Amino acid sequence: MGSTRLAAVAAAVGLFAAAFCPASFAQGTDLAPATGNWMVRLRAVNLTAANKSDPVAALAVPSDAIQINNKVLPELDISYFFTPHIATELILTYPQQQNVTVMQSALGGPTKIGSFRHLPPILTLQYHFTPESRFKPYVGAGVNYTRISSVDLQVPGVGPLELSKNSFGPALQVGFDYRLTDHLYFNVDLKKTWISADVKLAGQTISKVKVDPWLLGVGLGYRF
């Protein structure tokens, strides 16, 4: 998802928000907001991977040929509001399985070479622009830690591949909450995270894969 596609997504989110809650901009405080410091959200999230990788000349694998699948995954988010405007959010899921495909190589392609699991918790610090209104846009920035496990990758005629186990990278976030009741919120959230792993054959690094996914989520939140 490039910058043009991101702009289109952001515009669509804005148009949806305006259509969904037209009265909120005129009557921003028509419902008393919940005063609790905690908020829990449950989202369905679409993961779209950037799928950037270095070439592997010995196997005739060109740049960006090592790819993982896009998928929809569940996400649990726990936020704590230090002030009406400032919050921190911990973003969690369970280990996700991803299939790995080499789109072109000496074996031809596409060739599925196996799978791995990753656990990618994210911690962000957020700024909420209009805490008293029904429509509450926010931005956030933070860090992503990804733990890679259950690696089962095999290149026919070559041997097993390994991936580096840990990845740290920045994360950016933009979204909004729309208050449905005093405690219940509708949420749309878009995150960009940077995740990479070294691909190793017989202990030697032969390529670096950058997953760097976009994560577009829709769900409900409860403030208490």
Here the tokens at position 127 are: 């700024």
Residues 152-206 pLDDT 10s: 999 888 889 999 999 999 999 999 999 999 999 999 999 999 999 999 998 899 9
Is residue 5 helix, strand or coil? helix
Return the amino acid letter for 173.
Q
Give the residue-averaged pLDDT of 40-65. 94
Distances (CA, A) of 96 to 7, 37, 55, 163: 28, 30, 26, 15
Q: Is 88 exposed, middle or buried, given 0-12, 13-18 or 19+ CB atoms closer than 10 A?
A: middle
Cα–Cα distance, 109 to 107 (Å, whole number) = 6
- Considering the entire predicted model, what is its pTM? 0.81
Q: Is 223 exposed, middle or buried, given 0-12, 13-18 or 19+ CB atoms closer than 10 A?
A: buried
DSSP 59: G
Please name each of the domains of the chain with its CATH number: 37-223 (2.40.160.20)
At a CB cut-off of 8 Å and minimum separation 6, what does 33 contact? 131, 132, 179, 182, 223
Give the residue-averaged pLDDT of 14-24. 44
Q: How many CA atoms lie within 13 A of 132 on its CB side?
A: 5
Cα–Cα distance, 74 to 219 (Å, whole number) = 10
Cα–Cα distance, 207 to 197 (Å, whole number) = 9
Give the residue-averaged pLDDT of 29-49. 81
Query: Taking 70 as the threshold, does the pLDDT of residue 10 lie above it?
Result: no
Report the share of the chain in percent with pLDDT over 70: 84
Residues 92-148 pLDDT 10s: 999 999 999 999 888 787 999 999 999 999 999 999 999 999 999 999 999 999 999
